[in-house]
Chain A
């Protein structure tokens, strides 16, 4: 039973345009959500997070939106830059999971110059 799903394995956008990466979850006990970014040959690095008490969190070019009723979150990157090309993982955690993160499959974002 996969509790966090990223249905798009890949996304390609033009430099300067908006990138929207989507994530769905099934476990209603999740109350904190994170996005990680991974370059080849490196480990994932933390990008942005959101608590379930909020519906939006913004950090520079990156904004995460949370729709609790739909159990859906999305990451918006605007404007997209070629250096944003990476795999983006959505992750979730809740009180009952301790510190353990449950990850999605990842979405490969390619930003074309």
Chain B
């Protein structure tokens, strides 16, 4: 356990479903991130919440919707996904301005 917990670990969903990924950290960090890892591609930054302000990657489709109710919790709400959205979704956190992140173990998402 790294201190960043992601649930569920695996998720299979249909293209018409709505689901949410959850990330939780109790490391005292004040910045949280969602990354997408597809095979043979760089980790792609999707969203940043730092000091509870959201910064977006404008290339992320609107079918992904983040929510950060407090500095310890981060959600990624999913709706009407496409098969190409199947990937490993990683949550990370740090103290804003510090070097490096602590990652969770990820949610392996499969869209059918």
A residues with a Cβ closer than 8 A to B are 2, 4, 9, 32, 34, 36, 41-46, 49, 89, 91, 93, 98-106
B residues with a Cβ closer than 8 A to A are 2, 4, 6, 9, 31, 33, 35, 40-43, 45, 48, 50, 55, 90, 92, 94, 96-106, 108
> Which listed residue (B97, B103, B106) contacts A45, Cβ 8 A?
B103
Q: How far is the CB of A33 from chain B (nearest CB, A)?
A: 10
CA distance A49 to B6 in the complex (A): 25
> Which listed residue (B40, B55, B90) contacts A43, Cβ 8 A?
B90
Q: Contact at A2–B105, with CB atoms within 8 Å?
A: no
Q: Contact at B96–A43, with CB atoms within 8 Å?
A: no
Q: Contact at A100–B103, with CB atoms within 8 Å?
A: no
The residues of A that contact B9 with a CB separation of less than 8 Å are 41
CA distance A49 to B99 in the complex (A): 9
The residues of A that contact B102 with a CB separation of less than 8 Å are 46
CA distance A99 to B53 in the complex (A): 13
Q: Contact at B96–A99, with CB atoms within 8 Å?
A: yes
The residues of B that contact A34 with a CB separation of less than 8 Å are 99-100
Q: Contact at A43–B106, with CB atoms within 8 Å?
A: yes
Q: Contact at A2–B42, with CB atoms within 8 Å?
A: yes
The residues of B that contact A91 with a CB separation of less than 8 Å are 43
Q: How far is the CB of A50 from chain B (nearest CB, A)?
A: 10
If A41-B105, A43-B90, A44-B90 touch, whether A103 touches B97 (CB-CB below 8 Å) is: no
